[in-house]
Structure 1
Amino acid sequence: MKDILFFDSMLTPKIITVVYWLLLLGVLISGLGFMFSGQTGGFLGGIAMIVGGAIGARIWCELLIVLFKIHDNIKRVAQN
């Protein structure tokens, strides 16, 4: 607890996993809503939205994780 309160440990990498699953849920709901909205090309557009959104959410979360891993590695180098 002391590590988190004094910013010795990063809290955000633990939260990113939860954010990723919430993003996937949002993408799925949006895609399904678009699929059954009755618009022209809605079904294929909904599938494209689900696939593209899932890939985009994964890439965004992975980039955030990479930033925090870089921080950990720089911190380890600075301690040596």
Structure 2
Amino acid sequence: MKSMFTFDSMLTPKLVTGLYWLLIIIAVISGLGTMFSGYEGLTAGTFFLGLITMILGSIGARIWCELMIVIFKINENLQILKDKQ
């Protein structure tokens, strides 16, 4: 508990996994909403736009979360190097 209050350990890397799944759910719901939001019902344009929203949203969420993890891994490695000196 002390390491959390002194910022010796990071809390955010533990939260990134949960945030990733939340972003995936948002991308899927957004894509489904786009697929079935046409005024005349299901059309090919809105269906493919919703599919693209789901795919690109999922890929974007993965890339963003991986970049966040990389930043924290760099921090961990720098801490290890600092402690060796």
Do the structures match in fold with TM over 0.5? yes
Alignment match, 2:66: 62
SS at match of 1:28: helix
Alignment match, 1:35: 35
Separation in 1 of the partners of 2:3 and 2:46?
A: 49
Is 1:6 paired with 2:6? Answer: yes
TM superposition score normalised by structure 1? 0.96
Q: Which moved more, 1:31-40 or 1:66-75?
A: 31-40
Count of aligned pairs: 80
SS at match of 2:31: helix
Is 1:51 paired with 2:62? Answer: no
Separation in 2 of the partners of 1:65 and 1:3?
A: 20
Identity of aligned residues (%): 55
Alignment match, 1:21: 21
Tell me the CA shift for residue 5 of structure 1: 1.1
Separation in 2 of the partners of 1:3 and 1:28?
A: 37
Give the greater-gyration-radius structure (CA): 2
Letter of the aligned partner of 1:44 in structure 2? F
Structure 1 runs of 4+ off > 4 angstroms?
A: none
Gaps of 5+ in 1: none
CA RMSD across the alignment: 1.0
